[in-house]
Each structure stands twice: as structure tokens, then as C-alpha cells.
Amino acid sequence: MRRAEIGDGKNRKELEKVYFSLNESEKELRIREMARKMVYDWKSWWRALHKNNYFVIKLGVSVLLVGLAFRLLYNRSSDLSPVADAPFLENTRISAPPVVSVDFQENADQNPTKEYGTEPSDSEGKCNLSNGDWVPYEGEPFYTNVSCSIIEDHQNCMKNGRPDTDYLYWRWNPHGCELPRFEPPRFLDLMRNKSWAFIGDSISRNHVQSFLCVLSTVEKAIEVYHDENYKSRRWFFPSYNFTVSVIWSPFLAQAAIFEDINGVSTSEIELHLDKLDKNWTELYKSLDYMIIAAGKWFIKTAIYYEENTILGCHYCPKRNLTELGFNFAYRKVMRNVFDYIISSNHKGMIFYRTTTPDHFEGGEWFRGGACKRKEPAKEGEFELNELNKILRDIELEEFEKASAKASQESVNLKLLDVTPLSLLRPDGHPGPYRFFQPFAKDKNATIINDCLHWCLPGPIDSWNDLLMEMVANG
């Protein structure tokens, strides 16, 4: 019968031989003719089989016909012989990091073997880890406020009495690929005899606590240093000879700051735009990995200096100074930071983390703003406010310029873009639970809400998933 002929290996090879000897017009006509015949024969044969209820035979015939049609159509579209199957499969693998980055093989020690990656589903073989949505997660958080002692009080939402816990049970799901969950044992193995630093403001401090809490499920980190105000600190994992630091440098540039822990200032910040902060530059070359970030502090009132001379300011109406705007200062410092990184010839892996959005609704920090959401937002539900848009645009523009220069200088510079996924988590902030049991005495008490930092555990833990993927496959 015809179906036996099609299924026969020898006849199939002869059929393919004839097919590949045809020109394009003849191929197209032959495919159409075969398709019509297959459809007609398939219907006739199916009706006959239906009468006898031979289900298994039905299934086998269907698979054979679909397989042959796909093979012929694929070979036509590629205009190659069947040996083209191998490169086609190779092209479906990730061919570049999921974010804008620059990598070099000579820095092999900073680029572990690619064993941790995922298969993308898009035709270009790329996956942008920053674009996706939050999906329900049935597992448990890596840690709790009881199991991790590193959590600061202002981010310890459970201890402070936050009643809901649904915000803990979501995971970040990038479009077009699978993002594996952070693997603490494997990550620590990759970090043997290494050093890592988080450089920036209180969001960097928030992140390092998440990072340490997750890693401490394998081995407890030992604190080996802190400054007078506990803003810069260092921890050590003895079994791995691995050091983790947080370096307080909210502007990444030299600054005199007159502000308490609650953000109350007694005078304008004095910011030197042309001088980078020695708190991080003096340690820079000793670090194997680092995450550098800034942003939010530039929105604050400040006097700007260059060459120790006042240049202007941002929002200083009581001063007779030129209003330059925070965007001027931020761009200038970003350029200085990237110029320093590129000219350093340092072979470490350097991440620049994008600014994170806040979710104040109904006002700002000291003006009645609150964040009462209990679940992630949908894409498009939240937009960056104008100030955050300005910060993000400057970051992306300056990073793009820097990455081109970094390529020429063999500097391993990466962008850790956490803005899109963080924007969709208005439910992940402490809100009034920045403070211990804020409604214990009065359920209607007026409490300052924190809609900028993140509860621990919480959505910020997913940033570590991105880091693991970028380090392992970077």
C-alpha cells in the first residue's frame, strides 16, 4: 500500500534524492501535489481504519505523515541537505548574555563553565532576563527572619508585624526562557578564594543582606569588619575563603552628607562631581566581583563642586546659585565612574545595577505616601515616575557608551537591569512595617511608610537569581 511505501526507509531515501534534484519551481509544485495526495489518501485510509477502530494504527499513520511533510518542508525552506539539522539546533542556544555586557575569554577565571544556563525559546537565541512577569511559586523562601540574623530592623517585615505573607510566594519568570533558582552551594563553589562587594546606597545594603541570607543556608557568614556607623561592613565564609563587603557610597563621588537614618537633613549635601569616593576606589582593584549602583540620592538637595569650587546646585532656592539639576550631576558622575572603570584595566567582573523604582501612592515619603498592595502588578499597571525615568535614561545611555569603550579595553562590564521586574512588585516594600508593631497601640496611627526598600525575605531575593545566571553563563 502507499503508506507502506512512504514508511519504507529505502523508498524514502529515493524520494528525497529525486526531491533534491528538482529546481525551486518543481519542488513547490511537487510539494503541493504530494500534499493534496496525502490529504486525500489520509482521509480515505482514516475512514477505513475508523470502521475497524484500530486506534494504534491511526496514531502511527498520522505521525509518519506529519513527520514526512515537516521534513520536506524544512529542507525546502533551508535549501540545504539533511546535514543542516545540527547547526540549526546549535543556533537555538543562548549565544550572548541576557543583558548588555562585554565578556572576554582571557578572563577565564571570572567566567565559569556554562553549565547553569537555560534554553531560550525565541528564534534569535537570546533571552532578556529583565523582561517577564511574576508567577506564583509553591516553594518556600530560602530563609526567614528567624533563620537569618543579618536582616536590619527596617526591612524585617515579619518581625515588625506585617500580617500578610502572600508577597513571599512569587518568582520572576522571564519571557522566552527559564530562569533557574539561585543555588547557594554551587554559587559558593564558584566563589572560592574570591571577593565580592556591593557598592552604593541603602538599596545596595538591602541587597547584600538578601545575598548573605541566601548563602547562609549553606554556611553562616562571619562579620569581620564594620565602620563606626555599620554602613560599610565585611563578612567571611571560611570554608570557601570568600569575602563579601558592602561599601557605603551613595553618590559614588566624594560627598559631605548631613542626614540621619530617617532621611532628615540639617544642611545641603556638598557633592564633588569631579572626585570619586575613595571608600570604593581604594578597594576596587582588590575585588573579583562588584555591583555598583547609585541614583536616588541625586534627587536630594545638593551643592555641586568642581575643583573645590562651587559650580551650582540642585533645588537650593535660598541660595544665590545656578540651578543645574540632578540630571546634570548624575550624568557627570556616571561618566566619571565608567571612565575610571574602563581606564583601570581591572580584570574583575563589574556589574552596574540600574536604579530601583519606589511605589509611593498618594504622596511621597514624608507626605502621606503609602504602599498597600498585596500582590504583584501586571505589566503596564505601574509606570516609572518622571524622576525615575530621568535616572534610568541616563544610566542606560551612559552604560551603552561605556560598554563600547570597555570592549576595546577588555574590561568585563555588565548591566544588572532590575528596574523592570522591581517595577511590578509594589507589594514587596515594608510600608508601615519599617517600624516594629506600628499599630500595636493605635490601629489608626499615622505612620511614615517605606515604599522604597524591600522586605526580607521578599522580591529582592530574585535579583540573586539573575546574578547566578549572569555569573555562571556570563
Q: What is the pLDDT of residues 269-313, one digit of tens each?
A: 999 999 999 999 999 999 999 999 999 999 999 999 999 999 999
Residue among 337, 335, 315 at smallest CA distance from 324: 315
Q: Provide the mean pLDDT of the chain.
A: 81
Task: Give 53's pLDDT tier (boundaries 50, 70, 90).
Answer: very low
For 337, other C-beta atoms within 10 Å of its C-beta total: 23
What average pLDDT score do residues 9-31 get? 44
Reported as a single tens digit per residue, the pLDDT across 408-456 is 999 999 999 999 999 999 999 999 999 999 999 999 999 999 999 999 9
Domain boundaries, the chain: 2-90, 105-473
From residue 73, alpha-carbon distances to 14, 78, 125 in Å are 17, 9, 22
Select which of 201, 417, 427, 450 is catalytic.
450
Instruction: Return the half-sphere exposure (C-beta side, CA atoms, 13 A cut-off) of residue 245.
Output: 25
Select which of 453, 461, 462, 465 is catalytic.
453
Q: Is 453 a catalytic residue?
A: yes
Select which of 101, 130, 195, 202 is catalytic.
202
Task: Give 473's pLDDT tier (boundaries 50, 70, 90).
Answer: confident
User: What DSSP line would sit under 221-285, residue for residue?
Assistant: PEEEEE-TTSSSEEEEETTTTEEEEEEE-SSSEEEE--B-TTS-BSS-EEEEEEEE-HHHHTTGG
From residue 205, alpha-carbon distances to 208, 211, 248, 470 in Å are 5, 10, 8, 21
For 185, other C-beta atoms within 10 Å of its C-beta total: 11
Please give the pLDDT value at position 157. Answer: 98
Reported as a single tens digit per residue, the pLDDT across 248-263 is 999 999 999 998 877 7
Query: What distance in Å separates the CA atoms of residue 142 and residue 148, rounded to the nearest whole number?
Result: 10
Q: Is 359 a catalytic residue?
A: no
Say yes or no to pLDDT of 71 above 70. Answer: no
* Residue 149 or 115, more confident: 149
CATH of 105-473, one of 3.40.50.1110, 3.40.50.2300, 3.40.50.720, 3.30.70.660: 3.40.50.1110
Angle formed at CA 232 by CA 222 and CA 419, multiple of 5 degrees: 100
Please give the pLDDT value at position 125. Answer: 55
Q: Is 202 a catalytic residue?
A: yes
What average pLDDT score do residues 208-228 get? 98
Q: Any residues with CB less than 8 A from the CB of 171 and at least 6 apart, and which? A: 134, 135, 136, 137, 181, 462, 465
Reported as a single tens digit per residue, the pLDDT across 333-374 is 999 999 999 999 899 999 999 999 999 999 888 788 999 999
Decide: 137 and 169 in contact? Cβ < 8 Å: yes
What average pLDDT score do residues 174-181 get? 93
What average pLDDT score do residues 42-65 get? 41
Helix 202-215 vs helix 462-473: angle between axes, to the nearest 10 degrees? 80
Reported as a single tens digit per residue, the pLDDT across 99-134 is 333 333 333 344 443 333 333 334 355 689 999 999
